[in-house]
A and B are shown apart, each in its own frame.
Chain A
């Protein structure tokens, strides 16, 4: 039984083996050669994505007594997480090298982050979900503080750690209730038990704790405090990771745990999620307007985007959930392009902290400015870009559910979001560059072509996929129509 089932976790095994290999190089090499860690990480991620896309990995089915579930959704999310990790690795290396931060541990932790996401994607039992989530979270805590010369990093990591550990403990406590109700960790058994005992106090307590913990992990208001702090405090290359790959795990957790496991209690969690969604839209977007630090701005805007995702998810039913999954995947790639652009700017020797640092970028580096423009337009939801379709599909679902008031509110908030995104664009294209003689211009160095080309593919992909939006949407619909548990 074992030899047959073991390859069901092929993608996880590949990434895990890659991470061990990175560590092994570090142990055996006479001198530290982090570039080999980078290459190993890149190759293992690329091979995993390729094999997943070719269908040779992740055979569909339920394995390991329900602990591991491979279905089209897990495959879609695995591929999205793999591609995002690939981009993160490619964007972050030049910046790490320039700032003397490139170490094998960085790549090791990026791989374990991805491993955690993959485990959550195909988590069929409460225990698998918890272990994947913790692997992901522990890797992130370590990564945020990895630059020990940066006091802000340690501080942000400590805050994130304390709150994150508390959220995990709450989630786990909710799991004990669910286990008590069902007598099993399998999501399918939990779902049956919940359907058999509707509205029991244990269910209500479990739902409340689960929603609180998941809202924290996703960064929804009122548990969003860590988002801007971590985005600002973490080293830029780590912010790039935090703002992209873990979101895939968050939506997977929502789908598996709330959608499939606690689906019978959707009336209970729907209300809570709706409140969180409205607050996230309001607080995230309004606070983003007053930010002068670009990373804090993107942090608060991430909270706003989570509001959109939850707005779709709280509708319940496959339609809303599909829109939420679609929005999340689109958001991850928009976010990868935006933070990737900022990271590569730092690799050039520029600062990318405040809006002023970006001013006049279009004259210094027109291509980079254009790529950032694509990312920001897409995040703002400007029509031909992919981000527009994500917003449109969510709004259509909300209106179809006769929640016109919610839809109007979301549109207003999207307009506010467009304002602050376009302000960044204005700064890049119309503001004069900072006074010459500053540290920026003198130290400018070329960015490796490889990273630039990938950023171009990522940014233009947002435009091309926006013009031809059918493919990704139907992939999401396909994935959501054959769910297993």
Chain B
């Protein structure tokens, strides 16, 4: 059952990425990597379903998701640079000024 295998891979990757976001308390760059990984898992799932249905729309969606992921990575890195310039650090713990 290739569909099941593909979806399982996708689910495992997605779960790893999601867990990474909660387990990682150290580095903001790792958080950005986890976000990318989540989107890659989504893409895997899209391709798997697309192959199962025999249509192309799922694969077209992958194109769009990839593009959005690139834009998201660009904005994330840009924010990272701004945070780093302000705090001289990319530790997750440093962004805790806002509270209450």
Contacts and interface: CB of A to CB of B under 8 A. Distances in A.
Interface of A: 127, 130-131, 134, 138, 141-142, 145, 148, 151-152, 154-159, 161-162, 165-166, 168-169, 172-173, 175-176, 179-180, 183-185, 228-229, 232-233, 291, 293, 296
Contacts of A291: 100
Contacts of B38: 166, 169, 173
A183 B52 CA distance: 9
Contact of B98 (A138, A161, A185, A233): A233
B97 A155 contact: yes
Contacts of B78: 142, 145
B14 to A, nearest CB: 6
B56 to A, nearest CB: 11
A145 B82 contact: yes
A134 B95 contact: no
Contacts of B72: 134, 138, 165, 168
Given A162-B28, A166-B38, A229-B98, 14 more contacts: A141-B79, A142-B75, A148-B82, A151-B97, A152-B97, A154-B86, A157-B79, A158-B28, A162-B21, A162-B35, A165-B35, A173-B45, A184-B57, A228-B100
15 contacts: A142-B75, A145-B79, A148-B82, A152-B97, A152-B98, A155-B86, A155-B97, A158-B83, A159-B98, A169-B38, A169-B39, A173-B45, A176-B49, A180-B45, A183-B53
Contacts of B79: 141, 145, 154, 157-158, 161
A176 B75 contact: no
Interface residues of B, number: 42
B55 to A, nearest CB: 6
A175 B80 CA distance: 29
B58 A179 contact: yes
Given A151-B87, A159-B98, A183-B53, A141 B75 contact: yes
A155 B72 CA distance: 17
Contacts of B41: 173
B16 interface: no
A296 B99 CA distance: 10
Contact of A169 (B35, B80, B82): B35
A156 B98 contact: yes
A131 B68 contact: yes
B61 A179 contact: yes
Contacts of B9: none
Nearest to A160: B79
Nearest to B46: A176
A154 B61 contact: no
Given A141-B75, A161-B75, A176-B46, A127 B64 contact: yes
Interface string B35-68: 1001101100110010011010110010011001
Contacts of A233: 98
A291 B99 CA distance: 11
Contacts of A131: 64, 68
A185 B57 contact: yes
A127 B98 contact: no
Interface string B16-39: 011001000000100110010011
Given A161-B76, A173-B38, A176-B45, A138 B100 contact: no
B12 interface: no
B8 interface: no
A151 B76 contact: no
Given A145-B82, A148-B82, A233-B98, A172 B75 contact: no
Contacts of B17: 169
Contacts of B46: 176, 179
A202 to B, nearest CB: 10
B20 to A, nearest CB: 11
Nearest to A296: B100
A66 to B, nearest CB: 11
B12 to A, nearest CB: 13
Nearest to A226: B98
Residue of B14, B28, B64, B65 with most partner-chain A CB within 10 A: B65
A232 B98 contact: yes
A175 B10 CA distance: 14
B42 A158 contact: no
Nearest to A290: B100
A176 B28 CA distance: 27
Contacts of B80: 158
Nearest to A144: B79
Residue of B14, B58, B79, B86 with most partner-chain A CB within 10 A: B79
Residue of B18, B31, B41, B42 with most partner-chain A CB within 10 A: B42
Nearest to B39: A169
A155 B98 contact: yes
A291 B72 CA distance: 33
B64 A155 contact: no
Contacts of A185: 57, 61
Nearest to B74: A138
B71 A138 contact: yes
A155 B83 CA distance: 6
Contacts of B39: 169, 172
Nearest to A172: B42
